[in-house]
Structure 1
Amino acid sequence: MSENVVDVVVIGGGAAGLSAAVVLGRARREVVVVDAGSPRNAPAEGVHGFLTRDGISPGELVAIGRAEAEKYGARIVDGVVTGVSNGDGGFVVDLADGGTLRSRRVLVATGLVDELPDVAGLAERWGRDVIHCPYCHGWEVRDRPIGILATGPMATHSALLFRQLSDDVVVFRHTAPALSDEQAEQLAARGITVVEGEVVAVEVEDDRLTGVRLASGEVVAREAVVVMPHVAARADVLAALGVKATDWEMAGQVLGSHVTADAGGATEVPGVWVAGNVTDPRAQVVTSAAAGVMAGAGVNADLIAEETAAAVAALRAAR
């Protein structure tokens, strides 16, 4: 790798990272995008809720995004970043192949990892008929028997959301705490059955999910299973800079980790921005792309401020 200092290294080449690269490239910044090629949504057949791109495969979306970023001068590097450190007033980005990049700013859009419950067959069906988001995948399982695998108090919320899509919804309480009286009443009012007992496996026939097996041996026929995984931010590359993932909570429950940042994606460490699922685990593809746009604009504005201050100092010195 060249030792030349570029304006920005973007770590992560998904919707957030590539959107940031497009914005920065259009601002005539020298940008390098490093992509490990392991997007969170790789198992999904299509991206949904993205205006004009609804149903596009995740791989095709990335290919189009890469071409657009390259059109504005961004350089795409297929590789893995092992760490980022301070160096010569900027940052040193180390790659797994031994290469090094140097930049004035860093934008991290590495996403997150979904950590699923230890239930046989669940991971193999993830993103197909084992899903988590009604807005990403709900339409595809409409009017089908749906099971909600409870892993915490958010199960009732998920059940009510998916009840909008099907009148055959069952909550498997699994190992989650007992329902509150209010939750039980809400589910009953919407005709949602609660099944007691631990879930041990999902049943599959002819490459399609057919049921949920309990520890008792009973199999409840279902064609889709909803589970809210624990989500872990991919933030290890920033550890040397003091940027660490912290707990991400909803409704008082810790659901995973994320990197905190302001509304524009700036972290507490000057010169380091984040965008997409690494900071907002709820973000869909379209909102991750929007976050990348905002973060890219923020990085550019920060660089302009630095350059303007240097120009003013030079002018004063000349006077």
Structure 2
Amino acid sequence: MTYDVIVIGGGPAGLSATVALSRALRKVLLVDAAEPRNAPAEGIHNYLTRDGVPPAEFRELGRAEAVRYGAEVIDGEVVSAAPGDGLLGVTLADGRRFDARRLLVTTGLTDELPDVPGLREQWGHGVLHCPYCHGYEVRGKAIGILGSDPMSLHQAQMWRQWSDDITLFLHTAPAPDETQARELAARGITVVPDKVAEVVATDGSLTGVRLTDGTIVACDALVVAPRFVANAGVLGLLGLEATGNERGSAVAAEPTGRTAVPGVWVAGNVADQMAQVVSAAAAGLHTAAQLNMDLITEEVQQAVAGAQRSAASSR
């Protein structure tokens, strides 16, 4: 079978696009590597009517909707992708090959975390990064900010909205200047110049950090700034490279989701580092509508060409 669209990546953007395209009566195959970025989190937030839903449950609900509208959903890793015979083909790690008129890549991103012992084990629970995703859950608690760059001072002021017990561990961030120091002090934010040597946990729960001098500073949550690196391996096979800076990378695309490679589209975190679950889902819907219109335009052109050929042959 030749599909209208193969969607690669089964997160919020991919699932949303698959549902929208299936409702548009397109033949859609969703290929999902089943490695969701938000798997460590206990629940998603700021998604109206879905607040607190565990990521795994959200994923299963989305898959069920896609299948209900006629999409095919399979687990698998895409290891190659290339154009051929006017189509775009993908091959999975198990050898299966599929062809489609269009590819929509929604493979998301990977959070590259600071290299501090014990930190990764707490990711998504005691170690957080987004105040809008997790701030409410740690409101009023002792929150540490692991400094990494000048933006860490901004992070400290942001998280101060949710708690009056904020400690900024400068770690690798530059020391605040006179104005910044005055602003931090005015908001009651403690600044610790030492580096963090280890994240400390008891019975699986974060309890604090150990500094390089051995001092343990208690805190209930630790905020970090990951590098947001696009999962662009499939796109690289098609000639699209992610571009980035010290904060991460993303794949360039038009606002519609169309990329520079004909027939290849993107949506969600692979193209937008800051998209949360609800905005990634919205991006999937938006791109699906634009992609469907692209298919319609192609079909109109084919119909006109066919009519012209028929008219010419009947003369």
SS in 2 for 1:209: strand
Amino acid at match of 2:217: V
Deviation at 1:105, TM superposition (A): 0.3
The answer to whether structure 1 residue 113 and structure 2 residue 105 are counterparts is no
Deviation at 1:156, TM superposition (A): 1.4
SS in 1 for 2:261: coil
Q: TM-score, normalised by structure 1?
A: 0.95
SS in 1 for 2:247: strand
Which residues in structure 2 correspond to 1:1-319 (within 5 Å)? 4-247=1-244, 254-319=246-311
Amino acid at match of 2:231: R
Unaligned ranges ≥5, structure 1:
249-253
Deviation at 1:261, TM superposition (A): 1.2
Deviation at 1:214, TM superposition (A): 0.6
SS in 1 for 2:100: strand
Q: CA RMSD in A?
A: 1.0
Amino acid at match of 2:113: L
Q: Which moved more, 1:279-288 or 1:201-210?
A: 201-210
Measured in 1, the distance between the counterparts of 2:176 and 2:33 equals 41
SS in 1 for 2:135: helix
- Kept after mapping to 2: 8 A contact 1:146/1:169: yes
Deviation at 1:158, TM superposition (A): 1.2
Measured in 2, the distance between the counterparts of 1:305 and 1:185 equals 59
Write out per-residue CA displacement over residues 83-130 of structure 1, whole angstroms, 9 at most, x where no aligned residue.
211111121101000111101100011111111111111000000010
- Kept after mapping to 2: 8 A contact 1:83/1:236: no
- Kept after mapping to 1: 8 A contact 2:175/2:193: no
Amino acid at match of 2:271: T
Amino acid at match of 2:163: S
Amino acid at match of 1:315: A
Amino acid at match of 1:9: I
Amino acid at match of 1:39: P
Measured in 2, the distance between the counterparts of 1:9 and 1:189 equals 54
Q: May I ask how many residue pairs the two structures share in their alignment?
A: 311
Deviation at 1:183, TM superposition (A): 2.8
- Kept after mapping to 1: 8 A contact 2:109/2:228: yes
Amino acid at match of 1:289: A
Q: Which moved more, 1:137-146 or 1:186-195?
A: 186-195
SS in 1 for 2:48: coil
Deviation at 1:270, TM superposition (A): 1.7
Amino acid at match of 2:195: E
- Kept after mapping to 2: 8 A contact 1:83/1:238: no
Amino acid at match of 1:270: P
SS in 2 for 1:91: strand
Amino acid at match of 1:17: G
Deviation at 1:304, TM superposition (A): 0.5
SS in 2 for 1:186: helix
Write out per-residue CA displacement over residues 125-173 of structure 1, whole angstroms, 9 at most, x where no aligned residue.
0000100000101111100000000111211121111100000001100
Percent pairwise identity:
56
- Kept after mapping to 1: 8 A contact 2:15/2:284: yes
| Counterpart position of 1:251 | none
Measured in 1, the distance between the counterparts of 2:233 and 2:167 equals 38
Deviation at 1:221, TM superposition (A): 0.9
Unaligned ranges ≥5, structure 2:
none
Q: TM-score, normalised by structure 2?
A: 0.96
Measured in 1, the distance between the counterparts of 2:11 and 2:243 equals 22
